[in-house]
Amino acid sequence: MKSALISLTRNGADLACSIGLALQADVFVKPEFAAECMEKYYKVSIKPIKGRFNEFIGDIFGVYEALVFIMASGIVVRSIAPYIKDKKSDPAVLVLDEKGVHVISLLSGHLGGANVLAREVALITGGTPVITTATDINDMIAFDVFAKENNCVIENLQDMKYISAELVNGGRVRFYSDYMLDRELPENIMKYDEDNTTGCKYVVILSNRTNIEIEAEKALYIRPKNLILGLGCRRGTSKEEIALAVRSFFEKNNKSMLSLKGIATIDLKMDEMGLLKFCSENGIALFIVQRDQIRPIEDDYTTSEFVKTKTGVASVAEPCAVLAGENARLICGKTVYKGITLALAEEEKIYNI
Q: Are 296 and 263 contacting, i.e. CB atoms less than 8 angstroms apart?
A: no
Eight-class DSSP state of 72 = -
Q: Which of 264-273, 302-311, 336-345 has the lowest mean pLDDT?
A: 302-311
d(CA 311, CA 306): 9
Asked whether residue 305 is assigned to any structural domain, the reply reads yes
How many CB atoms are closer than 10 A to CB 82? 11
Tell me, what amino acid is at 236? G
pLDDT of 240 reads 96
pLDDT of 214 reads 84
Co-location of 105 and 14 in the same domain: yes
Asked whether residue 137 is assigned to any structural domain, the reply reads no
- State the number of CA atoms in the 13 A half-sphere of 59 facing the CB: 10
Contacts made by residues 310-315, CB under 8 angstroms, sequence distance 24+: 311/232, 311/266, 311/268, 312/268, 313/266
Least Cα distance to 49 among 98, 85, 107, 4 occurs for: 4
**Domain end position, chosen among 224, 257, 274:** 224
Co-location of 183 and 110 in the same domain: no
Tens digit of pLDDT for each residue in 64-98? 999 999 999 999 999 999 999 988 889 999 999 99
d(CA 229, CA 287): 10
Domain of residue 316 covers 227-347
**Domain end position, chosen among 171, 191, 224:** 224
Contacts of 69 (CB under 8 A, 6+ apart): 5, 6, 7, 75, 76, 93, 94, 95, 96
Tens digit of pLDDT for each residue in 14-66? 999 999 999 999 999 999 999 999 999 989 999 999 999 999 999 999 999 99
Contacts of 196 (CB under 8 A, 6+ apart): none
Q: Is pTM, for the whole model, over 0.85?
A: no
Co-location of 212 and 265 in the same domain: no
Contacts of 238 (CB under 8 A, 6+ apart): 274
What is the number of domains present in the chain?
Answer: 3
Asked whether residue 34 is assigned to any structural domain, the reply reads yes
